[in-house]
Chains A and B, each alone.
Chain A
Amino acid sequence: MKNFNHINAKSLEEAIAILSEKNTVLIAGGTDIIPLLKDTVLPEYPETVINLKTVPGLEFIKEIKGNLCIGANTRLTEIAGNRTIKEKYTALAEAASKAATPHIRQMGTIAGNICQLTRCWYFRKPQNRFQCVRKNGNKCFAAAGDSRYHSIFGAVNGCLAVNPGDLAPALIALNAEIITTKRIINAIDLWETGYPSNTVLAKNEIITEIQITEPSSGTKSTFIKFAVRKSVDFAIVNCAVSVGKDSARICLNGVAPNPYRAEKAETVIAGKKVTAELAEKAGDIAVADAKPLKDTAYKVQIAKILVKRALLSL
C-alpha cells in the first residue's frame, strides 16, 4: 500500500469538511477499501483516508415506534445475530449472516457493505491495467473477454459488471431507507453505476443510518445465496423476497450492474397464496427480460430457481 494521510474523524461535521476537499476516501470496516488501496484500483490514489469508526453514535440497532433503525457503522455480525431482525426482518439477518466470512462480518459494516465497489476482475485488476468505462476508458473488457460472473440484464453506462453485495437485495425487498447527512434515499434508488462511487452519494455525503418500516403483520421475508463455496465467496446470484398479505417484493443481485428488482414477478405473487406453480411462474417472469452474455446463460437458470426457492421457503 502507498502512503496517505490518516484522520480519525471525531464527528460527522469534521468528516464532511475533509471529504469536501480533494482526493479523500472514507474507511469504515476497511474490508473493501483496504484491498482497493493495496491494488491501487482507484485511478486517483487518495491523499487522505478518513476513519468513520471513531465518530461516536453510529453503531446501534434500535426499534423506534416499531421501525428498525441501524447505525451506519453497525457490523454485519451484530445484524445477523439480532433477535428482532431475525424475527421481523429475516431477509436482512440472513443476508448479513451469509456475507463473506465470520472474520469479515465482525469487521465489515452495513454502510460499507452497500457502498462496496464491484468485484469485476477487469475493474479490480491491480495497477489499473484495464482502463474500462468505469475508469473513464472507452470499453467494458467483459464484453469480449471472460464474462462468466457478469450481467444477465445488459449494461448500465456501458459497464457489464454486477453489484456484488448481499445486503442490497435484502434492503430493497424490505423497502429500506438510507439516511445520509444530506437526504433520505429509498434503497432502490441508492445504486447507480458510475465512478468513482457505486452509489448516488455525493463525494461529501455520508450514510448515517438505515431505517426499515415495520412490515405489516403476516409479512415474511427470506434471502438465499448461490455461491461456489458457502463461505468467503461472493454470490453468483442472490435473491431476497418479502411477501405480505397483498404485497410482494423480489430483488436479485449479482445479475445486473445494479440490484435487480423483479417487478413483473412481484405482480404474479402479490395478494395470492404462493403455490409451487405460482413460484415457478414468478421465477420464469423474473428472468424473462434477461439478455445473457456468451458466458452467463447459466446465471439465468440460477436466478430463476432462486426466485422460486425463496418464495417456496417462506
Chain B
Amino acid sequence: MHNNEKINGSGKRTSFTHATAQAQAAGSIEAIPATVKDFRCPVCSKDFSGYPELKQHYTEDHPDAVIPVTVSLNINGKDCEVLIEPHWTLQRTLQFRLGLTGSKLMCDRGVCGSCTVIMDGRSVLSCSILAVECEGKNIQTIEGIAANPKWKPLVDAYCKWDAMQCGYCTPGFLVSAKSILDKNPHPTDEEIKEALAGNICICGTYPRHSTAIMEAASIMAKEGE
C-alpha cells in the first residue's frame, strides 16, 4: 500500500497521486462558469433572470447602493465572465465566483505572497488587485500550473524535496517559481531567492524551494531536448 493513499469520506480508498491532483485541477478549470448564471442581489439576496433585471431592481429598491458589475476574464486559458461588486478583490473573485480555491488568502494586505497569480506575465498579488480592474486580462493560477503536464517536474520536485509543511503558502511559492522559470529556465540559487522574496512561509521551508526549483529546471531542460 502506498503511504499516499487516503480514505475518503465514504470509506473508499483513493490513491492521491500527481495524476489525481492534475485531474482535480483540470476539473476545477473545466468547471469555471463561462457566463454569469446567478444574478443575485448582494443587498437583499433576491434572484433575477439577468443583468438588466438586476439593474432595474437596484434603481427601484436600492437607489443609493453600488450596482454590481460584470467583468470578462481569461483564467488559465478559459474565457469567463463574473458578476461582482467593485470592491471585490481578484482573490475573492477566484475563490467565490470561479471556484478556484488555490490562491490562498493569508495576510490580505500584500505582505505574504500566498495569493500570487500571474497576470499578463507579471507575478502579482490577487488580494491587492480589484477584480474590476482585470477586464480582459490573462490570469494564470496555481490550478493552471497543476493541470498542465509541462509543469509536472516542478510539482514533483516540490513533493520530493518536501518544500512544504502546512502547505498554506505553497501555491503562492509555486506560482512565483513558475513565473521565474518562464523568464529564466536556468535560474541560480540567488536568482530564485530574489524571485521568491515576496513569499513568506511561517513554517520556515525556505531552503527547500531553490533546491526543488533548480532540480525541476534541469529535468524540464532535459525533457525539452
A residues with CB within 8 A of B: 1-6, 8, 27, 30-31, 34-35, 37-38, 49, 51, 53-54, 77, 100-104, 106-107, 230-232
Contacts of B130 in A (CB 8 A): 6, 27, 30, 34, 49, 51
**A–B complex contacts, Cβ < 8 Å, 7 sampled:** A6-B130, A6-B132, A8-B132, A102-B197, A103-B110, A103-B123, A106-B123
Closest 3 A/B residue pairs (Cβ): A101-B198, A6-B86, A231-B197
Q: Is B108 interfacial (CB-CB < 8 Å)?
A: yes
Please name the residue on chain A nearest to B131 by beta carbon: A6
Contact yes or no, B66 A231, CB < 8 A: no
Please name the residue on chain A nearest to B111 by beta carbon: A232
Distance in angstroms between the alpha carbons of A107 and B123 in the assembled complex: 9
Contact yes or no, A103 B129, CB < 8 A: no
Contact yes or no, A5 B86, CB < 8 A: yes
With contacts A5-B86, A34-B89 taken as known, whether A107 is within 8 angstroms of B129 at the C-beta atoms is yes
With contacts A34-B130, A35-B128, A231-B198 taken as known, whether A101 is within 8 angstroms of B113 at the C-beta atoms is yes
List 8 extra interface pairs beyond A3-B85, A6-B130, A232-B111, CB under 8 A.
A2-B87, A5-B66, A5-B86, A34-B110, A34-B129, A104-B125, A107-B122, A232-B197
With contacts A31-B110, A38-B108 taken as known, whether A103 is within 8 angstroms of B125 at the C-beta atoms is yes
Contacts of B109 in A (CB 8 A): 35, 38
* Chain A nearest CB, measured from B52 CB (Å): 20
Number of chain B residues close to chain A: CB under 8 A: 29
Contacts of A3 in B (CB 8 A): 65-66, 85-87
Contact yes or no, B197 A230, CB < 8 A: yes
Q: Is B124 interfacial (CB-CB < 8 Å)?
A: yes
* Chain B nearest CB, measured from A158 CB (Å): 27
Q: Is B76 interfacial (CB-CB < 8 Å)?
A: no
Q: Is B30 interfacial (CB-CB < 8 Å)?
A: no
Contacts of B198 in A (CB 8 A): 100-104, 231-232
* Chain B nearest CB, measured from A202 CB (Å): 25
B residues with CB within 8 A of A: 65-66, 69, 85-87, 89, 108-111, 113, 116, 122-125, 128-130, 132-133, 135, 176, 194-195, 197-198, 200
* Chain B nearest CB, measured from A283 CB (Å): 29
* Chain B nearest CB, measured from A69 CB (Å): 23
Consensus secondary structure, chain A interface: mixed
Contacts of B124 in A (CB 8 A): 103, 106-107
Please name the residue on chain A nearest to B180 by beta carbon: A102
Please name the residue on chain A nearest to B133 by beta carbon: A51
Distance in angstroms between the alpha carbons of A35 and B151 in the assembled complex: 33
Distance in angstroms between the alpha carbons of A102 and B129 in the assembled complex: 15
* Chain B nearest CB, measured from A7 CB (Å): 9
* Chain A nearest CB, measured from B139 CB (Å): 14
Contacts of B195 in A (CB 8 A): 102
Contacts of A232 in B (CB 8 A): 111, 197-198, 200
Distance in angstroms between the alpha carbons of A5 and B67 in the assembled complex: 8
Distance in angstroms between the alpha carbons of A5 and B85 in the assembled complex: 9
* Chain B nearest CB, measured from A199 CB (Å): 21
Please name the residue on chain A nearest to B88 by beta carbon: A1
* Chain B nearest CB, measured from A42 CB (Å): 14
Contact yes or no, B110 A35, CB < 8 A: yes
Contacts of B132 in A (CB 8 A): 6, 8, 51
Contacts of B85 in A (CB 8 A): 3
* Chain A nearest CB, measured from B177 CB (Å): 12
With contacts A34-B128, A35-B110 taken as known, whether A4 is within 8 angstroms of B86 at the C-beta atoms is yes
Distance in angstroms between the alpha carbons of A37 and B109 in the assembled complex: 10
Distance in angstroms between the alpha carbons of A54 and B194 in the assembled complex: 30
Distance in angstroms between the alpha carbons of A49 and B66 in the assembled complex: 12
Contacts of B125 in A (CB 8 A): 31, 103-104, 107
Contacts of B200 in A (CB 8 A): 232
Contact yes or no, A107 B194, CB < 8 A: no
Distance in angstroms between the alpha carbons of A1 and B86 in the assembled complex: 10
Contact yes or no, B86 A103, CB < 8 A: no
Distance in angstroms between the alpha carbons of A221 and B85 in the assembled complex: 46
Taking each of A51, A101, A107, A231, which has the highest tally of chain B beta carbons within 10 Å of its own beta carbon? Answer: A101
* Chain A nearest CB, measured from B128 CB (Å): 5
Contacts of A4 in B (CB 8 A): 66, 86-87
Contacts of B197 in A (CB 8 A): 101-102, 230-232
Distance in angstroms between the alpha carbons of A264 and B197 in the assembled complex: 37
